[in-house]
A and B are shown apart, each in its own frame.
Chain A
Amino acid sequence: MATDTLIGPGFSDPVFQSQGAFRALLAALAEPGTRHVVSGAVVPPKGLHAATATALLTLADYETLIWLPAALRDGAAGAWLRFHCSAALVSDPARAAFAVIDAGSPEPALSAFDSGSDQFPDRSTTLIVQCTALEGGEAVTLTGPGIATSRVIAPAGPRAGFWAEVAANNDAYPLGIDLLLSHADAVFGLPRSTRIGEVY
């Protein structure tokens, strides 16, 4: 049997590893644009970064639907999430509570995900965008709640027009999706409340 069909282990200590990872995610979304290490000592399945896999292991369960790109859904990542989170994987991005995309992939548009309803803006997708690096890319200025004055981030790898989509997501505030930009074991939070300033 090929080893890539085997499902790797999840948390070795679910209580404290998920607590530590959650605090990193909470800090990331509370202070957008600051880098936080989501450590869970998890070996991620093929196609997911360690931070992405740890975040999903921390937050997803049988109550949350997950959307993955078809290649990941049908591969090791899909099997790993089904087994460890008991989460259902859906093919319609608009139904997902959590979703993962690669920053460079042209599809789907951010607007394809669930942005909540005016009476329940919390019922929206949390989207994990896997970048090729969290620095060295196009720089953007962030302002808004969680940021004292402004912050500059420059994650590498987002597709053309990505920041315009993020800005449009913020325009719909309080509706919108919340983003986590991940690479290796670290994340940036980019909630819908963050305004995207000039792109250098």
Chain B
Amino acid sequence: MTMHQALPGDDTHSVDSTRPAYNYAYLDEQTKRMIRRALLKAVAVPGYQVPFGSREMPLARGWGTGGIQVTAAIIGPDDTLKVIDQGADDTTNAVSIRRFFEKTADARTTEATEQATIIQTRHRIPEAPLTAGQIMVYQVPQPEPLRKLEPREAETRKMHAWAEYGLMQVKLYENIARFGEVTTTYDYPVMINGRYIMAPSPIPKFDNPKMHMSPALQLFGAGREKRIYALPPHTSVRSLDFEDHPFRIQSWTQPCALCAASDSYLDEVVIDDQGSRMFVCSDSHHCETRRADGHRGTMLGDATASGLVEESKS
């Protein structure tokens, strides 16, 4: 038993003794060591999926247990944690996970991308550029990029071992042959350091270029599938494509309706039953920062009047 666990009747301790005694950051120390060993091997072989003993967590698999276990294994008292879900800081998954670490690890939390040392994310990379020293933790539902092409783990493992990736190129080719372009828009496969094909987790392909040579360390945790993989800073990440069909990211015909950003990833929101819609930044912190800086989108007035967003202070 470590000093961080409260003993019954131990009122000299700072932890509220009426609450159950968890180890710091929920996981026990042996589990953290196991995850830490897997993380170091993952960093040494970028893009390779390291099997690990994923634990039962106090929420259902598929809700980010892989990312939570990675964060729990790395977080310490010096860290500031940001959690986003589809870019937003204020959605259910993000709020719950942030609260989980506030409760079990006394974590300092923030919504500001620049202030965070650890950013746990579901399905987005923040718009603000990442900096050296930051760690991105991705929640990954399906770590195996070849799984939909080859359901057998024994086979996909050999395909990675021998770099037999023709099947993936054929899939992309068939897409082009049928539809004229690659129709994959999220979880778009990437080649890491010229060796392993990796699933970038279901981020939109808009975010793929941000991974290439990023100064931040990127860690991926898949709880249900029991895999951890990693991208060290300054690692080559190439989205698969063909010479005559180069990789392209999404673009929109109109800017964000709230902050007028034309270079961020936009969500399409249906706003009434007449088919009207608006496009807004998926990264809520980015959008708020821009509004605070005085950028105004075409529908900001309406949204403020109906109480959907707060009037910016400036």
The answer on a CB contact under 8 Å between A192 and B44 is yes
Minimal beta-carbon separation of A39 from chain B (angstroms): 12
Q: Please, which residues of chain B bring their CB within 8 A of the CB of A119? A: 157-158, 160-161
Report whether over half of chain B's contact residues are helix, strand or loop; otherwise say mixed: mixed
Minimal beta-carbon separation of A121 from chain B (angstroms): 5
The answer on a CB contact under 8 Å between B74 and A13 is no
Let me know if A8 is at the binding interface, CB within 8 A.
no
Query: How far, in angstroms, from A18 to B40 measured CA to CA in the complex?
Result: 14
Q: Which chain A residues numbered 4 to 40 have a C-beta less than 8 Å away from chain B?
A: 13-16, 18-20, 22-23, 25-27, 29-31
The answer on a CB contact under 8 Å between A146 and B30 is no
Q: Which chain B residues numbered 31 to 61 have a C-beta less than 8 Å away from chain A?
A: 32-34, 36-46, 48, 50-51
Interface residues on A, range: 35 or more
Q: Which chain A residues numbered 111 to 130 have a C-beta less than 8 Å away from chain B?
A: 118-122, 124, 126
Q: How many A-B residue pairs have CB under 8 A?
A: 114
Q: Which of A14, A22, A25, A174 contacts B196, CB < 8 Å? A: A174
Let me know if A178 is at the binding interface, CB within 8 A.
yes
1/0 contact trace for B235-271 toward A, CB 8 Å? 1100000000000000000000000000000000000
Q: Please, which residues of chain A bring their CB within 8 A of the CB of B32? A: 18-19
Let me know if A162 is at the binding interface, CB within 8 A.
no
Query: How far, in angstroms, from A126 to B77 measured CA to CA in the complex?
Result: 27
Let me know if B170 is at the binding interface, CB within 8 A.
no
The answer on a CB contact under 8 Å between B45 and A193 is yes
The answer on a CB contact under 8 Å between B33 and A174 is no
Give the residue among B34, B44, B235 with the most A Cβ atoms within 10 A. Answer: B44
- Residues A16 and B77 in contact in the complex (CB < 8 Å), given A122-B48, A145-B193: yes
Minimal beta-carbon separation of B62 from chain A (angstroms): 25
Interface-side segment among A46-54, A55-63, A100-108: A55-63
The answer on a CB contact under 8 Å between B33 and A61 is yes
Let me know if B131 is at the binding interface, CB within 8 A.
no
Give the residue among B23, B41, B51, B162 with the most A Cβ atoms within 10 A. Answer: B41
Query: How far, in angstroms, from A126 to B236 measured CA to CA in the complex?
Result: 24
Let me know if B171 is at the binding interface, CB within 8 A.
no
Query: How far, in angstroms, from A48 to B236 measured CA to CA in the complex?
Result: 36
- Residues A193 and B162 in contact in the complex (CB < 8 Å), given A18-B29, A145-B235, A173-B195: no
The answer on a CB contact under 8 Å between A25 and B40 is yes
Query: How far, in angstroms, from A23 to B292 measured CA to CA in the complex?
Result: 35
Query: How far, in angstroms, from A183 to B165 measured CA to CA in the complex?
Result: 42
Query: How far, in angstroms, from A135 to B48 measured CA to CA in the complex?
Result: 32
1/0 contact trace for B6-46 toward A, CB 8 Å? 00000000000000000110000110111011111111111
Minimal beta-carbon separation of A64 from chain B (angstroms): 7
Q: Which chain A residues numbered 175 to 194 have a C-beta less than 8 Å away from chain B?
A: 178, 191-193
Let me know if A41 is at the binding interface, CB within 8 A.
no
Q: Please, which residues of chain A bring their CB within 8 A of the CB of B233? A: 30-31, 146, 148
Let me know if B234 is at the binding interface, CB within 8 A.
yes
Minimal beta-carbon separation of B238 from chain A (angstroms): 13
The answer on a CB contact under 8 Å between A15 and B38 is no
The answer on a CB contact under 8 Å between B40 and A29 is yes
Let me know if A160 is at the binding interface, CB within 8 A.
no
B133: nearest chain-A partner, CB-CB: A27
The answer on a CB contact under 8 Å between B44 and A59 is no
A194: nearest chain-B partner, CB-CB: B44
Query: How far, in angstroms, from A127 to B36 measured CA to CA in the complex?
Result: 16
> Could you tell me which A residues sit within 8 Å of B by CB distance?
13-16, 18-20, 22-23, 25-27, 29-31, 58-61, 63-64, 97, 118-122, 124, 126, 144-148, 173-174, 178, 191-193
7 closest pairs, A vs B, by CB?
A191-B44, A146-B232, A122-B41, A118-B161, A145-B235, A30-B232, A19-B76
Can you spell out 5 A-B residue pairs with CB atoms less than 8 angstroms apart?
A26-B74, A29-B44, A118-B162, A146-B232, A146-B234
